[in-house]
Amino acid sequence: MTADQGPVAFLAPEVAGEVSEVREAHPGVNAGTGSQVASREERESELDALLAPGATRPDGAGVRARPEPPDPHRLSFERDLDRVKHSSPWRRLAGKCQVFIAPEDDHLRTRMTHAVEVAQVATGIARAARLCVPLTEAIALAHDCGHGPAGHASETAFSPYMPGGTYDHAVYGADVTLAGLNLCVETLDGVRNHSWRRPAPTTPEGEVVAWADRIAYVCHDFADACRAGIVSPSDLPEGVRAAVGSRQAQQVGAFINAVFEAIDQTGRVGMTEPAASALQEFRDFNFERIYLRPAAVRQAEKAIGLLRGLIDFFVDVPARLPWVAEAKFEAPVAGSPEAAALAVRYVSGMTDRFALGLGVELLGWRPEELPRGV
């Protein structure tokens, strides 16, 4: 059979009294595993022996808002990870900015590439610390799913429409954006509390993600700002350069090693000095020179006006909300809290470019008036 004739069929050895026809993608390849597929229970037992005493153990289907039967082979947190990767909120992170709104430079980070970098840092720490890697990765990839378009400006834009007057992307992500995925309580807790302004996560894996998030964004936001010509490597404070270096790879490595040192010395997730102080100084520098520079503040103010305009539009005309138009939700009363909740949910899920496009289409903004990334 030639390579373009399709997979080869053969009869498999008898398993449990049955013989099945099996096809291989590549005829003649040595693809034997030498064993049968492990059950979830077997994998849980093997993992329990490998994990650190304080690590989070997967157990059956996991604790979820809506009980489910366990998977025959996948760990509960692996199911969470799969659901996050296949979800619309996670896919839309590719169109949401990290720092620069709808950047034209494809090399600048998006919320998705940020989430991937956070997961890379977090799982690297979790493996070495013998923590639960699938839980760590699920939290890391999902942690920013509650962010709206235009980054943190969206939190300011949405807050007046929220009960209590505060939109927190971490809380909203766990409680609203990801609610339909029915994730385990440990995963949602890590998402809800990854921000340092929130209470501490209940698992060490969640705490690792909190550190990984800060390490990743501090380092890569500076690298992106250098690429955009806003700052240069020589602008970085001398104390930061002395402690962790001037290149992103050096910095990330130094911060991760400082987390390892803290775990080795104390058995707890943290960061040793001088790296911990350097991380804070680095973050303070980014706020002063990147996030809160006058040009960035002006663009954020434009973004806030645009997003509030979109919410007001849909609050006044809730029938224009796609979910209402498609009869997935009953039309709320115009101007009601229910209309505001649906409008926030819809607008918070938009990508940057989609929101900008609706600003032109629905609100009459001129393209030159729209917020810009750099």
* pLDDT single digits (tens) 205-244: 999 999 999 999 999 999 999 999 999 999 999 999 999 9
Q: Residue 3 has what pLDDT? A: 45
For the residues 177-195, what does the mean pLDDT come to?
A: 98
Q: Give the H/E segment covering residue 9.
A: strand 8-11
Cα–Cα nearest to 236, from 252, 254, 218: 218
For the residues 135-150, what does the mean pLDDT come to?
A: 97
- Residue 156 and residue 171: Cα distance in Å, rounded? 14
Where do runs of H (alpha helix) occur along 147-291? 153-158, 169-172, 185-192, 204-227, 238-244, 248-266, 275-286
- Residue 231 and residue 285: Cα distance in Å, rounded? 11
Q: Residue 12 has what pLDDT? A: 52
Sign of the Cα torsion 148, 151, 157, 161 reads positive
18 three-state secondary structure: strand
Residue 229 gets which letter from DSSP?
T
SS (H, E, C) 298-314: HHHHHHHHHHHHHHHHH
**Tokens found for residue 88:** 């619309």
Spatial contact of 270 and 259, defined as CB atoms under 8 Å apart: yes
- Residue 334 and residue 317: Cα distance in Å, rounded? 6
Residue 110 gets which letter from DSSP?
B
With vertex at residue 175, the alpha carbon angle to CA 169 and CA 178, rounded to the nearest 5 degrees, is 85
More confident site: 34 or 172: 172
Examine the domain organization and report whether 150 and 288 are in the same domain.
yes
Q: Which pTM was predicted?
A: 0.93
Q: Does pLDDT of 298 surpass 60?
A: yes
Domain boundary among 294, 327, 355: 294
Q: Residue 13 has what pLDDT? A: 52
Q: Residue 330 has what pLDDT? A: 85
Q: Residue 115 has what pLDDT? A: 98
**Tokens found for residue 358:** 């609706």
Examine the domain organization and report whether 285 and 351 are in the same domain.
no
Q: How confident is the model at residue 100 (pLDDT cuts 50, 70, 90)?
A: confident
Cα–Cα nearest to 208, from 147, 139, 108: 139
- Residue 102 and residue 347: Cα distance in Å, rounded? 16
Q: Does pLDDT of 1 surpass 50?
A: no
Examine the domain organization and report whether 282 and 320 are in the same domain.
no
Domain hosting residue 339, numbered range: 297-369
Examine the domain organization and report whether 134 and 262 are in the same domain.
yes
Q: Residue 5 has what pLDDT? A: 52
Examine the domain organization and report whether 8 and 134 are in the same domain.
no
Examine the domain organization and report whether 337 and 279 are in the same domain.
no
Tell me if 215 is assigned to some domain.
yes
Q: Residue 23 has what pLDDT? A: 86
Q: How confident is the model at residue 27 (pLDDT cuts 50, 70, 90)?
A: confident
Examine the domain organization and report whether 312 and 231 are in the same domain.
no
Q: Among 156-160, 162-166, 172-176, 325-329, whose mean pLDDT is lowest?
A: 325-329
Examine the domain organization and report whether 163 and 267 are in the same domain.
yes
Based on the structure, what is the number of domains in the chain? 3
With vertex at residue 96, the alpha carbon angle to CA 93 and CA 97, rounded to the nearest 5 degrees, is 125
More confident site: 170 or 373: 170
Q: Residue 159 has what pLDDT? A: 98
Q: Does pLDDT of 331 surpass 70?
A: yes
Q: What type of residue is 145?
A: C
Spatial contact of 314 and 320, defined as CB atoms under 8 Å apart: yes
Q: Does pLDDT of 4 surpass 60?
A: no
State what percent of residues in the chain have pLDDT above 70: 95
